[in-house]
Amino acid sequence: MQVFKGDILIYNDNPGANISESSYSFYEDGLLLTEKDKILYAGSAKNIPFPINDLPITSFTGKIITAGFVDTHIHYPQINMIASFGEQLLEWLERYAFPAEKKFKDSSYAKIMADEFLKELHRNGTTTALVFSTVHKSSADALFTEAQKHNMALLTGKVLMDRNAPEWLTDTPETSYNDSKALIEKWHKVDRLRYAVTPRFAITSSPEQLELAGRLLKEHTDVYMQTHLSENKKEIESVARLFPDSLGYLDVYDRMGLATDHSVFAHCVHLTDDEYTVMKARNSAIAFCPCSNMFLGSGLFNLNKARKHDVKMGLGTDVGGGNSFSILQNLNEAYKVAQLRSQKLHPIQAFYYATLGGAQALNLEHQIGTLKKDYYADFIVLDPGATDLMRLRLKNASTLTDKLFILMMMGDDRCVEAAYIAGRKVK
């Protein structure tokens, strides 16, 4: 058993924009008890169900202990072209993303990058991620192999792309089906790993390939699906030209059976009300990627519309379209995106999206995303006074809301004092 002391933040549900009191609990000087990979107890230091007299206590006094961050959209092969200058989505893909992904044909290179990638996630307090690999089957193999070593809940898949991309980065409908199927059989539900069928986006997949992706989901009902949707205006126009019979962008995926309760659609910046209605009906999820949407100039996500339609939603860093691995930095940008639309993102709801909201988007909310008995011991320790300026600012702050807001507006990886995955320290 391990015993941790600190200010414990527990989510029960979505607080909503008006912050329902029952949606979360906060225990100052509380306790977290873990045994092996699971949580035994999280809450008040009084009434603990086990005697802990003789056990050493790891104290994080004045620090917030919360569930680890969940990143619902990120590209591991883009780790070393993050922050590439000057382009918007379609040109940025051609100029930076595709050449970076080409190198993952080499599986020893992929292994090195997978290791760097996971280290960077952990340094930023991200304990679960839904990740794009590349078109190469071995790139997904490499990431699964490294994640398994950390007993981490990680989801990824080989990218499907058979047109409108350089020839050296494309597959075919048949090879994409066969490779994905082999990866599902090898990795899906092995330890904490999960497979996600990963068509890159409608522009780079033929109708035949999307149809076979839909077949994979029918053949494996609890396998995930991840793709991009309605990110950039030029992208949306191109999809309309490529699929003239579709009712809209989401419909391209939906009519192929790709919008399920295990589907995560990244961006959704320009989604129509009708598309939101379909998204809700299918119980699919959105990955809101504020850093990326600002960095690539894609547009301002409409948070109130997502709230109104009550769609499952988590945060995505979208590295390397996004310029930071930090979920805190993404909350910073999310707040500003909301401000530019005269909307509000309250810190209590922001941290919900970063943890339990993300877990719900991945259908993992009964295992991760909050601190409760029998959940995995995936948790982080956040220091709201990690820098001199933050410590000064904290002198004018006392409530949980104040501390969380300081963390999200001023914080980054420096505020992540420790991170644990399945009870083991990874930072």
Q: Does 228 bind ligand GUN (CB under 6 A)?
A: yes
Q: 32, 40, 93, 315: which one contacts ligand GUN (CB under 6 A)?
A: 93
Residue nearest to ligand GUN (CB): 321
The smaller minimum CB distance to Zn ion, of residues 40 and 334, is found at 334
Of residues 321 through 380, those in contact with ligand GUN by CB under 6 A are 321
- Residue 3: closest CA among 68, 61, 56: 56
Q: Does 171 bind ligand GUN (CB under 6 A)?
A: no
**Residue 80 CB, nearest approach to ligand GUN (Å):** 14
Q: Per CB under 6 A, which region of 89-97, 240-248, 251-259, 388-396 contacts ligand GUN?
A: 89-97
Q: Does 292 bind ligand GUN (CB under 6 A)?
A: yes
Q: Distances in Å between the alpha carbon of 319 and those of 68, 97, 110, 325, 346?
A: 18, 11, 16, 7, 24
Q: Does 312 bind ligand GUN (CB under 6 A)?
A: no
**Residue 91 CB, nearest approach to ligand GUN (Å):** 12
Q: Does 75 bind ligand GUN (CB under 6 A)?
A: yes
Residue 68 partner contact from Zn ion, ligand GUN, none using kind-dependent CB cut-offs of 5 to 8 Å: none
Q: Per CB under 5 A, which region of 160-168, 259-267, 269-277, 345-353 contacts Zn ion?
A: 259-267
Residue 97 partner contact from Zn ion, ligand GUN, none using kind-dependent CB cut-offs of 5 to 8 Å: ligand GUN
Of residues 237 through 266, those in contact with ligand GUN by CB under 6 A are none
Q: Which residues make beta-bridge pairs with 281?
A: none
Q: Does 318 bind Zn ion (CB under 5 A)?
A: yes
Q: Does 231 bind Zn ion (CB under 5 A)?
A: no
Of residues 182 through 211, those in contact with ligand GUN by CB under 6 A are 200-201
**Residue 347 CB, nearest approach to Zn ion (Å):** 26
Q: How many residues bind ligand GUN (CB under 6 A)?
A: 11
CA atoms within 13 A of residue 109's CA, in its CB half-sphere: 14
Q: Per CB under 5 A, which region of 30-38, 104-112, 263-271, 362-370 contacts Zn ion?
A: 263-271
Structure tokens at 94: 């051609």
The smaller minimum CB distance to ligand GUN, of residues 7 and 101, is found at 101
The smaller minimum CB distance to ligand GUN, of residues 89 and 193, is found at 89
Distance CA 273, CA 284 (A): 15
Structure tokens at 223: 């396998």
The smaller minimum CB distance to ligand GUN, of residues 63 and 200, is found at 200
Residues that bind Zn ion (CB under 5 A): 266, 318
Residues that bind ligand GUN (CB under 6 A): 75, 89, 93, 97, 200-201, 228, 231, 292, 318, 321
